[in-house]
Every structure is written in C-alpha cells, then in structure tokens.
Amino acid sequence: MRLTLKVSQRRLPPARLDKFGNIAGAVVSPRLSCIWKPGSNHAIRISANRAFRAPSLINNYLDQVVLNPVDLKPLFPNLPSQYASLVEDRFLLPQRVLGNRDLQEESITAYELGYVGSVNGETTVGFNIYVNDTHENINFVKFPDNYDPYTEQNPPAGWPLPPSYITDLATRGLYLARTANQFRNLGPIRKPGVELFVERAAASQAAAGGPALSRARDQHPPSQPGERRDLVVRAPPDRQHEPEPRRPIVLGRRAAARLRRLRRCLHDVQRQLRRPMGAGPHPHHLARHEPHERRGAPARLRGHLEEDRLPRRALRVLSRGRARARPDRPFRVGSRRKRWARRRRGSSSA
C-alpha cells in the first residue's frame, strides 16, 4: 500500500475570526480536513470544524407580557358564596417573558470520519461516523412557579379575589408565576451518529434500454424467429407534450381607445353605404346609385384604405373618428378649410 499526499493549489485559511458587539470577545472558528486515497477506487476522509451562532436581538432584549388563562376553581374549592361568582371564568394571569443580555455565543464542534469506495465499477459503498458537540446552547427556558411568584403585596393586575388568598396558595405550595420564561445557555450536548450507504448501478437494464423497453419487448414478441419488428416507445400520457394555450393580446389604454374610435367610424361608413335607395337628398349621393354600384362601394373604400390612396390628412381624420357619416348628407373626407371654402363659394354665388 502506497501513501500519496497531494497538495491542492487552492489554499484556504484554516480558521476564521469574528467579533460581534453583543458578545464579550472575538470568536475563532477553526476547520481541518484531510483525504487519503489508498487506491484509485477508495478514499478516507477525516474532518473537524467549529462553528458558532451569536445571540439575536430577541434573545438579548425580549421583554413581553403574555396573558395565560388560569382556572381558579380547582385552586380555591371552598370559596364563600360572595366570591364563587368571581371565579366562574378563567382568570387571565399576566406573565413576563424575558431575554438575557448575558448570553454567550452558541457553538458546535463536529468531528467526522468517512469512507467511500467502488467495487467492480458498479457498486459504491461508504459510511460516515460523526460526533457533534454543542456548547452554550441558546434555549427558551421555563422557570418554576416559585422562581418569581406574585405575592400579597404585589398581586397580579385584575385579581378578582382578596390578596390574602395568594398567601393562602403559597402556604399550600402553589404559586402564581410572574416571570414565566427566559433565554438561557444550556449544554454541553453530544450527538453521535453513523451513516451507511450502498449504491449499485443496474448495468443489465441500462444496456437493454431500461425496464420500460424490456416490458415492451415482452408484450410484443416477434411472430417468427427470424422476423425483426421495430419497437416504438411512447411517453406516458402524463408526460406527453401539451401545446401551450395562446396568450391573449393585451392592448394599452390609448391603443384600445383608438381601435374603438376606428371601429365606430367604419361602422358609420358601412351604415351610410347600405342605406335604402333614394334616401339621400343629393343627386350624387351613393344611396341614389344602382344596387350593384352600392354593393361595390365598400370594397372600393377598403381598397383605398389598404392601398393608401387617400391623403394623410384624410387617414388621420378617419383613424381619430372625426369624420362621421350623417343621415342628411353624404360621407365626405376632407379638411375643414376646404369645406368652409366650398360653403363660401356657394353662398357668394347665391
């Protein structure tokens, strides 16, 4: 057996130094790990490290009052009649839960010995033996009732009975705790453990295509010894590809408003073009034309819009919905200045 020691080019510091304001001094966290390979298929690992956790703000500065419901009937079975009605309901006993400013950091030291090896290139075996030592464990401790009890001179708030009954409870060994819980350091705690694992690769099934292909071949054997049958493997129903639903097109506020105006404008144009024959007052109105000419008018209008034969001003007015067809006049597309000029010429000639 030959011992080979390899030094990695990646060097890490073997320890870490931390300093927090709520703990007395600095904390050192060392770590050490060593791997020994007696063979190409075997490795032994030994490691040791230490970590810590500083107390939190709640652990240090908690100061809260909680209401604990207490049934006073079992505590005072022989109450006078004038006090019996006062203990029908549960009494909400105020109790304090406190933090601790003298807490030390919680630390854990772990030792581990592990082995992993490969047998015949198919089976991997290994084990891990570890020991975890916890020191100064921060825990929420419940105090006994006689640690800080209420007294006759200092009864709890809202006490329904005379304060002398609290002294009567103390003589019987029963106390009403004023301070219930507090954070304290506990330990040490040791937790050993062992882990074993064995992994084996199914080489025969992998070479044959897995259990799914072998079952498919068994279900559909060839009818003749020399016949060759193609095997089609399909995915299970739950794994088949499902087409994604089409996402709806979401328009912005301005785009949606502009589209609504354009639809209303085109609707008015179509309604004007489909009016009954003879309804228009003007002799050149589209409604006075022949039916076959009126049927071709919407197509011609769409052709003008698609081929962009109308001027830009007309298209802009049409898209904004300002050009509207009226029942008393034919639909015309043009600027207001031209309309005013026509009206002036008509009024001057008259």
- What was the pLDDT predicted at 261? 84
Six-digit token pair at 128? 């891990």
- What was the pLDDT predicted at 12? 59
Do residues 141 and 181 touch, judged by C-beta distance below 8 A?
yes
Residue 50 has pLDDT above 90, yes or no: yes
Query: Residues 299, 301, 303, 305: what is their CA dihedral angle, to the nearest 10 degrees?
Result: -140
- What was the pLDDT predicted at 250? 64
Q: Name the residue ranges covered by the structural domains of the chain.
A: 15-67+96-199, 253-338
- What was the pLDDT predicted at 46? 94
Query: Pick the residue with more confidence: 13 or 256?
Result: 256
pLDDT per position as a tens digit, 192-221: 999 999 988 765 444 444 444 444 444 445
Smallest CA-to-CA distance from 177 within 144, 140, 141, 139 is with: 144
Six-digit token pair at 63? 């100061």
Residue 300 has pLDDT above 90, yes or no: no
Do residues 195 and 113 touch, judged by C-beta distance below 8 A?
no
Pairing of strands 179-186, 91-98: parallel
Which SS3 state, helix, strand or coil, does residue 300 take? Answer: helix
- What was the pLDDT predicted at 189? 93
pLDDT per position as a tens digit, 228-260: 444 444 555 555 455 566 665 666 778 888 888
Which SS3 state, helix, strand or coil, does residue 202 take? Answer: coil
- Nearest-angstrom CA–CA distance, 76 and 86: 11
Residue 24 has pLDDT above 80, yes or no: yes
Residue 341 has pLDDT above 60, yes or no: yes
- What was the pLDDT predicted at 317? 44
Do residues 285 and 330 touch, judged by C-beta distance below 8 A?
yes
Share of the chain above pLDDT 90, in %: 40
- Nearest-angstrom CA–CA distance, 2 and 7: 16
Task: Work out the pLDDT band at 7, boundaries 50, 70, 90.
Answer: very low
Average the pLDDT over 84-93 and give the result: 90
Smallest CA-to-CA distance from 107 within 48, 183, 22, 28 is with: 28
- Nearest-angstrom CA–CA distance, 266 and 254: 18
Six-digit token pair at 215? 């079952």
Residue 286 has pLDDT above 60, yes or no: no
How many CB atoms are closer than 10 A to CB 55? 23
Do residues 298 and 325 touch, judged by C-beta distance below 8 A?
no
Alpha carbon 16 to chain centroid, angstroms: 34
pLDDT per position as a tens digit, 263-280: 888 877 777 776 654 444
